[in-house]
Amino acid sequence: MDKAIILFGHGSRDPLWRLPMDAVAQRIRSQHPGMPVRCAFLELEQPGLADAAADLAAQGALQVTVVPMFLGTGRHAREDLPGLVEEVRSTHPGVDFRLQQAVGEDPRVLDLLARIAVT
């Protein structure tokens, strides 16, 4: 295994909140068999980013893409998450951690949301 993905979300006390994120993880697994994917959370749920990163590093991941599952780049995505990614980079220097932009900043997602809104 060379590449892996961490879907990163805020977390919630409501267990139903994470169902869409889990569904994205399952779609990745179905469409890319063998691609390890983990969900990780800033707060209120487990695992955190450090634990998900450690799990993937222990399995031999050499490149891990962290995907912020936020509609916009607020304080958590702009400040908290980059600091957490720097921490896992220093803890696992042999792994290339790549931080993507928030999913809601991607024009493809924006186009899809606009289509959903008018249907």
Query: Which domains can be identified in the chain, with CATH numbers?
Result: 3-117 (3.40.50.1400)
The total of other beta-carbon atoms located within 10 Å of residue 39's CB is 20
Query: Tell me, what's the pLDDT at 79?
Result: 86
- Provide the pLDDT for residue 78: 84
Q: How much of the chain exceeds pLDDT 70, in percent?
A: 99
Secondary structure letter of residue 82 according to DSSP: H
pTM confidence score: 0.94
Instruction: State whether residue 3 is helix, strand or coil.
Output: strand
Which pLDDT does position 56 carry in this prediction? 98
pLDDT for residue 75: 84
pLDDT at 20: 95
Residue keyed to tokens 């891990």: 64
**Below-50 pLDDT ranges, the chain:** none
**Are residues 113 and 105 in contact, defined by beta-carbon separation less than 8 angstroms?**
no
CB atoms closer than 10 angstroms to residue 83:
8
Report pLDDT for 74: 80
In this predicted structure, what is the pLDDT of residue 76? 78
Check residue 41 and give its pLDDT: 96
